[in-house]
């Protein structure tokens, strides 16, 4: 339910790396007049709350969400713990933005969407890469019909082993497809809006991440109801010292009336420092060469946070207040993304194409 207010309070649930960025984003948005931060770990909580001068810091997510000053909630907990806090927010009819992936269970996703429909809450999922300028421009080109009908699309996203290890270490039920490939699936479904994915066939293997019981990579072939196809790949195999802070991406869209290529490898700004520097996402690992701008959420510059996560957070707040805010991934869209990535994992495991309902 959109508010007629000009400001709103925000509760950020989870004060880890991403929660910190969301909290800083909120602090920089003029429409946010109250900020609550929540985490079960006091050290993280105190650090983030102090850095953003939060109005309240608490270990209890219910206390943060239930406060009458809070109109919007951001769920930045680890992947395994999105459900309970999200349900609390939608039960109260509050707008909620959940870090990707939506949840890790389709029944939980359905429960959230059903409750949101009942209470009027709006649910969005943080597919931040939609807000990278080049991906927005691609969407606009598609929307204007400059490619005609997209008949084939390709995408790849590679992250470093350090990122994969961080993800696998904190979340026993996420995979390269569900956690990383999910960005590409969201973008491709967005670009192919109006088409329904009907089948997915995937291949993967596990060598490096065998000890985590995860695949190293996955390539999937998605077929839509009109016969068009997307080929999407993800990998956790790049060395820990690969110069990209987080990810290397590329996208091709080929249509009946035009083609579009997006190179998001970040080789356009190369830093070679005198001494090794830590990666923002995995600061325990240093790099000798860095591709600046390759941190997927954005970057701190002169004490302020800039980038797609800031823009996405801003869009979420503006939408909550009825002031616009385009490009957000709805809960319904995110549910389709989750179903497709889960089906891809099943296809890779079983060695057969999986039909999508």
- Give the number of domains in the chain: 2
Is residue 154 domain-shared with residue 272, that is, in the same domain?
yes
Does 29 map to a domain?
yes
pLDDT band at 1 (very low <50, low <70, confident <90, very high): very low
Is residue 277 domain-shared with residue 139, that is, in the same domain?
yes
Q: Tens digits of per-residue pLDDT, 152-209?
A: 999 999 999 999 999 999 999 999 999 999 999 999 999 999 999 999 999 999 999 9
Does 317 map to a domain?
no
Predicted model pTM: 0.95
Is residue 67 domain-shared with residue 202, that is, in the same domain?
no
Q: What is the pLDDT of residue 75?
A: 98
C-alpha span between 187 and 131 (Å, rounded): 11
What CATH number is given to the structural domain containing 23? 3.40.50.720
Distant-in-sequence, close-in-space partners of 118: CB < 8 Å, separation ≥ 6: none
Where are the strands (E) in 161-315, listed by range?
Answer: 197-205, 217-224, 229-238, 247-255, 259-264, 270-271, 277-278, 286-287, 290-291, 299-301, 304-306
Q: Identify the domain boundary among 71, 98, 126.
A: 126
DSSP annotation of 244: B
Does 235 map to a domain?
yes
Q: Tens digits of per-residue pLDDT, 266-309?
A: 999 999 999 999 998 899 999 999 999 999 999 999 999 999 99
Q: Where is 63: in which H helix or E strand?
A: helix 61-66
Does 138 map to a domain?
yes
Does 326 map to a domain?
no
Is residue 142 domain-shared with residue 101, that is, in the same domain?
no
Strand 329-330 to strand 123-126: parallel, antiparallel, or no bridges (unpaired)?
antiparallel
Q: Identify the domain boundary among 126, 146, 165.
A: 126
Q: Quick check: 224 pLDDT over 80? A: yes
Is residue 106 domain-shared with residue 178, that is, in the same domain?
no
Does 142 map to a domain?
yes
Is residue 114 domain-shared with residue 138, that is, in the same domain?
no
Is residue 31 domain-shared with residue 151, that is, in the same domain?
no
Q: Quick check: 3 pLDDT over 70? A: no
Task: Indicate the SS3 state at residue 207.
Answer: coil
Is residue 122 domain-shared with residue 137, that is, in the same domain?
no
CA atoms within 13 A on the CB side of 207: 4
What CATH number is given to the structural domain containing 171? 3.30.360.10
CA atoms within 13 A on the CB side of 259: 7
Does 117 map to a domain?
yes
* Segment 78-107 mean pLDDT: 97
Exposure of 60 by Cβ count < 10 A (0-12 exposed, 13-18 middle, 19+ buried)?
exposed
Q: What is the pLDDT of residue 84?
A: 97
Is residue 225 domain-shared with residue 276, that is, in the same domain?
yes
Is residue 185 domain-shared with residue 122, that is, in the same domain?
no
- The reply to whether omega before 101 is within 30° of 0 (cis) is yes
Q: Tens digits of per-residue pLDDT, 111-142?
A: 999 999 999 999 999 999 999 999 999 999 99
pLDDT band at 357 (very low <50, low <70, confident <90, very high): confident
Is residue 227 domain-shared with residue 345, that is, in the same domain?
yes
pLDDT band at 93 (very low <50, low <70, confident <90, very high): very high
Does 328 map to a domain?
no
Q: Identify the domain boundary among 126, 161, 196.
A: 126
Q: Tens digits of per-residue pLDDT, 155-164?
A: 999 999 999 9
322 token code pair: 């009825």
Q: Which of 262, 250, 196, 261 is nearest to 228 (CA)?
A: 196
* Segment 78-99 mean pLDDT: 97
Is residue 65 domain-shared with residue 207, that is, in the same domain?
no
Task: Indicate the SS3 state at residue 71.
Answer: strand
C-alpha span between 184 and 232 (Å, rounded): 7
Domain span at 32: 8-126
């Amino acid at each position: 339910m959109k508010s007629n207010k000009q400001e709103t309070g925000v509760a950020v649930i989870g004060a880890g790396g991403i929660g910190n960025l969301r909290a800083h984003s909120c602090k920089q948005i003029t429409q946010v007049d109250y900020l609550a931060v929540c985490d079960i770990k006091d050290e993280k909580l105190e650090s983030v709350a102090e850095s953003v001068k939060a109005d309240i810091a608490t270990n209890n997510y219910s206390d943060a969400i239930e406060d009458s000053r809070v109109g919007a909630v951001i769920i930045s907990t680890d992947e395994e713990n999105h459900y309970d806090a999200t349900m609390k927010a939608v039960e109260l009819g509050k707008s909620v933005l959940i870090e990707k992936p939506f949840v890790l269970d389709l029944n939980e996703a359905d429960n959230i969407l059903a409750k949101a429909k009942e209470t009027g809450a709006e649910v969005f999922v943080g597919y931040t890469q939609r807000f990278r300028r080049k991906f927005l421009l691609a969407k606009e080109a598609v929307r204007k019909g400059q490619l005609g009908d997209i008949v084939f699309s390709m995408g790849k996203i590679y992250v470093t082993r350090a990122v994969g290890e961080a993800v696998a270490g904190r979340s026993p039920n996420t995979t390269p497809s569900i956690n990383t490939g999910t960005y590409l699936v969201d973008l491709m479904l967005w670009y192919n809006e109006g088409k329904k994915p009907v089948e997915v066939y995937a291949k993967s293997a596990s060598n490096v991440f065998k000890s985590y019981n995860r695949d190293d990579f996955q390539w999937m072939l998605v077929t839509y109801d009109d016969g068009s196809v997307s080929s999407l790949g993800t990998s956790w195999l790049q060395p820990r010292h690969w110069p990209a802070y987080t990810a290397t991406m590329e996208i091709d869209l080929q249509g009946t009336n035009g083609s579009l290529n997006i190179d998001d490898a970040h080789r356009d700004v190369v830093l070679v420092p005198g001494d090794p520097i830590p990666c923002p996402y995995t600061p325990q690992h240093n790099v000798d060469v860095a591709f600046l701008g390759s941190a997927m959420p954005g970057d701190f510059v002169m004490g302020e946070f800039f980038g797609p996560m800031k823009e996405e957070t801003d869009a979420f707040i503006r939408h909550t207040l009825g002031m616009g805010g385009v490009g957000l991934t709805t809960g319904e869209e995110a549910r389709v993304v989750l179903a497709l990535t889960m089906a891809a994992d099943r296809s890779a495991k079983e060695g057969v194409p999986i039909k999508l309902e």
